Every structure is written in C-alpha cells, then in structure tokens.
C-alpha cells in the first residue's frame, strides 16, 4: 500500500508484507498515487528476484539469532551440550551483533588469539569452541542464512597443551589416606563425633582407577548396567555414543558390594540422593590435603591405561576397555613412568 506522507512536499511512501516480512520505504521520484504504486510494484519484483540492494530492509540474521537454533540441535544430537552452552556465551561476546555474512576467516583467526589471551584457554579448549562455531555456521548454511561457512580456511590448534600426568603409587596411598581420614566435630547436641567429609569420593576414584571410565560414564552408571554374574559394566552413555562393556575387577566389585543398591544410580550424592553433577570442590580439597599437584579427575583414566600396559596388557584390549576408536588414540593416553623406563634400559646390561 502507498500513502502520501506530505501533500505539500508530495512525498509518497510504501509499506507492505511479503512472506511474513514487512517492508517500508520512500517512493523515490513519485509525485502521485499512480507513480507510487508503480514504484512499489518494482520494489516487490526486485525482492522476489533477490536483487534487494538498497531496497532491502529485510532483517539481517546475526550470530546471536542462530544460538537458539544451534542449542536445540546440540541438546538433541550432542553429548557436549553443556559445553556448547558455555561456548555460545563466548560467541555472543565476540560475534553476537555481527551479521552472519560479515563474519570472515580473519575474524575467526583473531577470535582464536583473543580467547587465548583474554581467557588463557588451552589449545584443546579453543578447538572445542571452534568446532561448535563451525557447526553453528554449517546450520546457518543449511537454513539458507549464509552462503558459505567462513570456517573453511581456519585451522585448529595443535593439542599438545597438557603435560603427561599419571598418579604414582605413593600419591595414591596419600590420597586414600586423606579420603578415609576422620575429623572430630561437636554437634548441636554438644556431643563429639567423627565425620568423614571426603569418604564419598572413595568409590568414585576406585571405579576410575579400576576401569578407566570417563567421569561422565561413572556419574551416569546405573545398577541396571552392572552384570554381577559375569562381572562387567555395560556403558550406554559414552562419549562416542556407542555402548561398550568394561570388565569389573575384584577390587571394584568389593566396593560395589558395599554400596546401597536401592537407588537407580550406582554413585549417588549422600546429601541429595541424586547422581553427582560435580565433585570439583571436595576433590580439589582432598588433593591439596594429600599434597598432590597438577592432577585432574581425567588423569585417573590416564593412570589406569598406563598401569594396564605396563603390567603387560595388550594395547588392543586396553583400546576396547577405554572405548577408543583406534589404537592411535589409546597411545595418547598411555605414558611409561620413569621407573619402567629405568627397568627397560637396565635390560641392556643383562
């Protein structure tokens, strides 16, 4: 529809909807209704052809507009949904108000540098952010919001940013000593009693050391996944999405037999009765008390793999236990300790 906004100046404008989008503007050069209607017809034709140019006032999609669509996809299809939520918050800061079509490979290269400087992120963390960003932009391409993914020429960083860390036997002894340590407290009834604030960590850590499971696999382990007759755990919620069977050692079986089976999950938070989401605070505290430095929960997995191989386990078997896609991946998780290197070199003296 065209209207005469200013009869004195003979200024005509158009306003209409096309495919649910409202367009408006000035009918340049129009001096009457007929000329204004003709101008509006030309604008509509140009929009239909895709030759929008300066006539196009269609809202331009920005990266922030893509985030809800991506998170919906992530929640349904990815194990790393929580990580994706965190990544999108970072994207919002650096790219949020930029139109998708204006995001260039160089901008992404600059983003790599900035998050390394601003957040002191490790290479592996930066690569996870880049993977999420690339997937977001692929979704934009699939939905005709973008012609080409600018990530095509952006290379990932080399992931050699974490030093090898295997728990020594001495550290293991100190760790369990602190976990099992009792502390005398005075209750509200003024009676003295002994509490064990870190004892809940013991079954979790024994499981990690005796199976090589990932933290998420341990937290999600259910009693229905345990086969007590044949002594194995059927892992259904894995990083790869493929189920796998992990044998249960006699030491881990001893721990399982001590736990309450009247719950859905094997490891439940005694404070909530629900499965664990995180044990970061208590875990870091007990590491500090045991004087163990530069150690992550994931390093129990490194430790389990290393110990199995050092004691003669076949690498293909270790690969299957850990759930790796190839032996090459397993080799990244296995590191010979200095003591075993010394024993190996002493063989030359025999």
Catalytic one of 14, 23, 265, 333: 333
Q: Is 274 helix (H, G, I), strand (E, B) or coil?
A: coil
Catalytic one of 58, 119, 239, 261: 239
Contact 295, 212 (CB under 8 A): no
Instruction: With residue 155 as reference, give the H or E element that holds it.
Output: none
Is 261 considered catalytic here? no
The Cβ of residue 30 has, within 10 Å, a number of other Cβ atoms equal to: 21
Catalytic one of 128, 214, 244, 302: 214
Catalytic one of 162, 222, 298, 335: 298
Catalytic one of 128, 215, 244, 301: 301
For residue 282, give the nearest of 294, 264, 297, 267 by alpha carbon. Answer: 297
Torsion on CA atoms 4, 7, 12, 15, rounded to nearest 10: -20
3-state helix, strand, coil in the chain (%, to 5): 50, 10, 35
- DSSP line for 51-77: --GGG--PPPPBHHHHHHHHHHHHHHH
For residue 46, give the nearest of 62, 64, 30, 23 by alpha carbon. Answer: 23
Q: Are strands 226-227 and 232-235 parallel, antiparallel or unpaired?
A: antiparallel
Is 214 considered catalytic here? yes
Is 114 considered catalytic here? no
Is 148 considered catalytic here? no
Is 301 considered catalytic here? yes
The Cβ of residue 245 has, within 10 Å, a number of other Cβ atoms equal to: 15
Is 324 considered catalytic here? yes
Supply the residues annotated as catalytic: 214, 239, 298, 301, 324, 333
């Amino acid at each position: 529809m065209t209207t005469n906004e200013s009869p004195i100046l003979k200024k005509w404008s158009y306003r209409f909807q096309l495919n649910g989008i409202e367009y408006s503007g000035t009918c340049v050069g129009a001096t009457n209704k007929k000329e204004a209607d003709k101008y509006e017809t030309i604008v509509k034709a140009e929009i239909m052809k895709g030759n929008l140019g300066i006539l196009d006032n269609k809202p331009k999609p920005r990266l922030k507009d893509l985030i809800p669509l991506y998170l919906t996809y992530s929640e349904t299809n990815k194990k790393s949904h929580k990580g994706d939520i965190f990544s999108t918050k970072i994207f919002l800061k650096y790219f949020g108000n930029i139109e998708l079509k204006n995001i260039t490979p160089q901008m992404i290269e600059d983003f790599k540098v900035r998050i390394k400087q601003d957040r002191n992120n490790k290479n592996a963390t930066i690569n996870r952010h880049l993977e999420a960003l690339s997937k977001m932009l692929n979704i934009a391409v699939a939905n005709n919001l973008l012609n080409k993914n600018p990530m095509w020429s952006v290379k990932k960083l080399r992931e050699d940013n974490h030093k090898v860390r295997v728990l020594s036997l001495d550290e293991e002894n100190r760790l369990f000593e602190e976990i099992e340590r009792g502390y005398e407290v005075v209750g509200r009834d003024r009676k003295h009693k002994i509490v064990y604030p870190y004892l809940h960590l013991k079954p979790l850590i024994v499981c990690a050391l005796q199976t090589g499971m990932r933290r998420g696999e341990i937290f999600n382990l259910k009693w229905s996944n345990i086969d007590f007759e044949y002594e194995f755990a059927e892992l259904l919620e894995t990083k790869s999405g493929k189920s796998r069977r992990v044998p249960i050692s006699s030491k881990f079986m001893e721990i399982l037999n001590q736990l309450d089976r009247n719950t859905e999950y094997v490891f439940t938070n005694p404070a909530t009765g629900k499965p664990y989401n995180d044990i970061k605070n208590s875990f870091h505290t007990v590491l500090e008390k045991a004087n163990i430095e530069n150690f992550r929960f994931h390093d129990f997995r490194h430790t389990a793999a290393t110990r199995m191989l050092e004691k003669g386990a076949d690498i293909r078997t270790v690969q299957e236990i850990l759930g790796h896609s190839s032996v090459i991946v397993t080799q990244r998780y296995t590191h010979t300790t200095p003591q075993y290197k010394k024993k190996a070199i002493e063989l030359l003296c025999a």
